Amino acid sequence: MVIKVHYHDPNMPPLEFYGGSDTSNWIDLRCMNEEIIPSETYKLISLGVSIELPEGYEAIIIPRSSTFKRYGILQANSVGLIDNSYKGDDDIWYMPIYSTRYTTIPQYERICQFRIQPVMKDIEIVPVDHLGNDNRGGIGSTNE
């Protein structure tokens, strides 16, 4: 599978995919510029890329596991979704964040990651009176 990437900074390190490795099969995204962010601030952080996803695919963006510990930022919408129509040269990918403390994020720091997945197709939603399954026990009931 091929994805086309337009970098908005020629010095930005290229995206890398480590598929099938034991470390991750997500692709890291970087903060394009150094960001100095006051506490309790909403900001769109440019990830410095525009990407053409394959037809029939979409991207999911989530923070890296170390991002909050290092920088005190939360992804403002929890999970980001980019569909494959967002593919123009100026359709720059961003991470909307909320800062919990004053922080500085260095230029090119890896702050989030993405993966592509097929879009859902041909889903039929059927209302029923009963599902006919055993109840599992409620939220948080696994391995009590």
Q: Which of 4, 85, 119 is nearest to 52 (CA)?
A: 4
In a domain, 132, yes or no: no
Pick the catalytic residue from 83, 89, 90, 122. Answer: 83
Q: Name the band, by pLDDT with cuts 50, 70 and 90, for residue 138.
A: confident
The angle formed by the CA atoms of residues 99, 14 and 116, to the nearest 5 degrees, is: 70
In a domain, 43, yes or no: yes
What domain range includes position 85? 4-118
pLDDT value, residue 144: 57
Phi and psi, residue 68, nearest 5°: -65, -45
134 belongs to the catalytic site: no
- Total domains present in the chain: 1
Does the pTM of the predicted model rise above 0.75? Answer: yes
Mean pLDDT of 117-136: 91
pLDDT digits (tens, 9 = 90+) for 91-100: 999 999 999 9
In a domain, 53, yes or no: yes
In a domain, 140, yes or no: no
Cα(138)–Cα(96) distance, integer angstroms: 32
In a domain, 32, yes or no: yes
Q: Which of 50, 2, 53 is nearest to 29 (CA)?
A: 50
Cα(63)–Cα(102) distance, integer angstroms: 18
Q: Which residue's structure tokens are 């569909």?
A: 83
Q: What is the CATH number of the domain that holds 99?
A: 2.70.40.10
pLDDT digits (tens, 9 = 90+) for 13-40: 999 887 666 666 899 999 999 999 999 9
CA atoms within 13 A on the CB side of 53: 20
Q: Which of 48, 43, 36, 55 is nearest to 8 (CA)?
A: 48
